[in-house]
Structures are given as structure tokens and as C-alpha cells.
Amino acid sequence: MRRRVYERYILLVGVLILLGGMGTISNGATTFKDVRGHWAETAIYEGVALGFISGYTDNTFRPNGLVTRAEFSKIF
């Protein structure tokens, strides 16, 4: 009986951890200086809103720059 309660508790904790980050959509306050007019502007802001990607500390995204291994691993 205790084992079943323990298994359900672990399952509940796992589900809460997985679903915990799903509600973190940005309010649109993030804007980048170098994205306006770029062909992937919409996709960039959608990725930022979902938390897959982020810009640099100088408020740029560098959409035409090369992607480093660290950046790729964060996106993937």
C-alpha cells in the first residue's frame, strides 16, 4: 500500500515539474534592436515567448550571426 502511494506521489511530482514551465509566455516586453524587418522576426519572437531562445545582453538577437554550439544546445 505504501509503495503505491509513493509511486503516485513521484508521478505527481514529475508531472508538476514538466508542466511547471509551460505557463511562462512572455508579455511581449522583449524587443530586439536588430530584428525589425527580418524575414524570421515572427518566429524569433515566438521562440522567445516560449522560452526556447533568448537574445544577448545588449538587447540584440543577431539573426544573421553564426550559431555557437552552446546556443544550439539551448535551442535543441
Break the chain into its structural domains and give their ranges. Answer: 24-76
Residue 34 confidence (pLDDT) above 90: yes
Residue 72 confidence (pLDDT) above 50: yes
DSSP symbols for 9-35:
HHHHHHHHHHHHTTT----S----TT-
Give me 6's grid cell: 509513493
Residue 68 confidence (pLDDT) above 70: yes
pLDDT digits 0-9 by tens, 1-30: 778 877 787 877 776 676 665 544 445 557
Average pLDDT, the chain: 81
pLDDT for 76? 75
Write down how long the chain is: 76
d(CA 27, CA 15): 25
Q: What number is the average pLDDT over the span 48-53?
A: 86
